[in-house]
Chain A
Amino acid sequence: MTDDITTPRRNFVKGVATGVIGGTLAGMGFYSYTNSAYSRLPKVAREQQEFGAVRSVKVTAISETSWFNNAHLMEDIQKSGGLLVDQYTIGWGPFGNGKGPGKGSYEEGIAKIKKMIPGDLEEAWALQEKSSLHPDNPGGFSTLIEVEDLDGSKHKYLLDTGWSYAWMDQSFKREGIDQMLKSGEIEALIQTHEHFDHFFGFPVAMKYNNKLPLYIHNGFYKEGRQYIVDSGYKGDPIVVDKELTPIRPGMMLMKFDVPIICRVFGETSLAFNVKDKGLVLISGCNHQGILQMTSTAMKKLKYDNDRFYGLYGGLHISPFEDWDPKYDDLVISLGKWNFEKVGCNHCTGHLTARKFIERGYPVVRGTARFRSSTPDYLGNGDTITFG
């Protein structure tokens, strides 16, 4: 007895037709390019505020290397008391006082350099190095964002100001940020949060333009607000106190109220609606968590094609280059959002970038220049354009 392996012709043709149609749809990216791709996303009531559109967004990583030695950074935090310790007391530049980990203070640190900033940053940094922990470790995070409106006009914004005065001044000059600030070409400075590696370099921006519009989260502590004044800022900071703050048509600032390591509160991130493409999200360090950022944007904003198009920033998954299985949850979860273009660096972590690539996420690679240490993600001086 043999099994009947013959197939009626009609069934064979139906099978082939089904395969061809299915294959064609898959080849067209049917799954990725329709709303069915979002069926796995959280079911939430969506408010979907309209906020206009832009033609494109270009991002330049001025500096993504916030520090150069993870072990030194973690050692400083641990010796100072752990993740809840106040960043101004750790003893990092420019607020070191030579008393050791956890014994620094804003007042003592700033007193030594107040008269030098923002005019003589080189001297100020050189002086504070003598009394700071691991003085060669600081780098900084800062990003240039160029927005092209629908009418073709372009607008520049600076996102964060880094940490080391010496490193940030050098990085600003490398990318021409110093001249853009001087000329007023950069329309505003958006300080995403108060963390040392995004904010302690604030006087460097003030050296070139101390009156440009400045956005800060309303969770800034008194030391941070005082540092803005002590750095020579002559404007009136725009204190972001709403969940959504429009910057220009198609560009929205999203505010997240979360406690952050080293006694910081709150972070802001940017959302752009790129015409005919979809939503682009840009973060400084994403302390609110990548999942909270994406789910909030989906809930609150209306964007073209109802689709997540681009992502850039520090995504805060393995910032200290250790790997824990729990990080895999975030790596896997990010895939649900089907971003078409992912630019990441900084606190995303090299290991996370490598995991993204292994999972087939559309990660834009970098060139590993200017002390950025991997081509797996966008490094210092690298750019990515959405639109």
Chain B
Amino acid sequence: MNRREFFARSNPLRTDSGDRATAHELTAFDRNELFMRAMAQGIDPATVDPERLPELLGLKAGET
């Protein structure tokens, strides 16, 4: 894994080009981590557009 891949992996909300990725591009791990964080905050993640979930959780890019 090169450096770019590593940092891309650590920030699942950005693609290699730096654009915001769509929900289906998140890996299962990333998505499940977001789901767990949402539930911990009292948000049922299934009721949220997955692309908006990080924003609702108050996460900035790179924090997931």
Contacts and interface: CB of A to CB of B under 8 A. Distances in A.
Interface of B: 22-24, 28, 31-32, 35-36, 39-40, 42-50, 52, 56
A287 interface: yes
A319 B24 CA distance: 24
Given A291-B23, A329-B52, A83 B35 contact: no
Q: Which 8 A-B pairs have the closest CB atoms?
A: A329-B49, A83-B39, A316-B46, A287-B46, A259-B35, A289-B46, A295-B24, A84-B39
A318 interface: yes
A111 B39 CA distance: 31
Nearest to B35: A259
Interface in A280-309: 285-289, 291-292, 295-296, 299
Contacts of A286: 46
A387 interface: no
Given A42-B22, A257-B28, A259-B32, A326 B49 contact: yes
A257 B32 contact: yes
B19 to A, nearest CB: 12
B48 A329 contact: yes
Given A42-B22, A258-B31, A326-B52, A316 B39 contact: no
Nearest to B32: A259
Contacts of A258: 31-32, 35, 45-46
Contacts, number: 67
Given A257-B32, A258-B45, A316-B44, 11 more contacts: A83-B39, A83-B40, A259-B35, A261-B44, A285-B46, A289-B50, A291-B23, A299-B24, A319-B47, A326-B49, A329-B52
29 contacts: A42-B24, A82-B40, A82-B42, A83-B39, A83-B42, A83-B43, A84-B36, A258-B31, A258-B46, A259-B39, A261-B39, A261-B44, A286-B46, A289-B45, A289-B48, A292-B23, A292-B24, A292-B50, A295-B23, A316-B46, A316-B47, A317-B47, A326-B48, A326-B52, A326-B56, A329-B52, A330-B47, A330-B48, A330-B49
A333 interface: yes
A319 B36 CA distance: 19
A154 B40 CA distance: 45
B43 to A, nearest CB: 8
A140 B57 CA distance: 31
Contacts of B35: 258-259
Nearest to A257: B28
Contacts of B43: 83
A296 B26 CA distance: 13
A44 B32 CA distance: 21
Contacts of B39: 82-84, 259, 261
A44 B52 contact: no
B35 to A, nearest CB: 5
Which has the most chain A C-beta neighbours within 10 Å: B36, B40, B47?
B47
A282 B57 CA distance: 29
Contact of B44 (A44, A83, A299, A329): A83
Contacts of A319: 44, 47
A101 to B, nearest CB: 16
A327 interface: yes
Contacts of B32: 257-259
Contacts of A327: 47
